[in-house]
Amino acid sequence: MALLSQAMRAQAFTGSTDSFFTAIAGQQGRAWTDRTVRAAYHADPRASDTLHRLDDLRRRGVITNAELERLRARLRV
């Protein structure tokens, strides 16, 4: 992170675009995008099916809302 801040500072003082800075920013942008997309979508398609089943159990009164949340946290869905 210190290297990135140094590159940003150098660009601010010189006003020139640095290809090294652009490469680092691109890598960080890709890493952020990958993390964000993985968090938004379930990697396992069965997780969605499990979530629907758990919600159905809650609607039928088999499990409570608190139990549903605890199971969702355990499954990370």
Model-level pTM? 0.41
User: Taken in order 14, 18, 22, 27, is the CA torsion positive or negative?
Assistant: negative
Instruction: Break the chain into its structural domains and give their ranges.
Output: 1-41, 43-77
Q: Which range has the worst mean pLDDT, 2-6, 14-18, 54-58, 67-71?
A: 14-18
Tokens 């039928």, residue?
60
Both tokens assigned to 74: 């355990």
Confidence (pLDDT) at 59: 94
How many other CB atoms are found less than 10 A from the CB of residue 76?
A: 8
Confidence band (pLDDT; 50, 70, 90) for 73?
confident
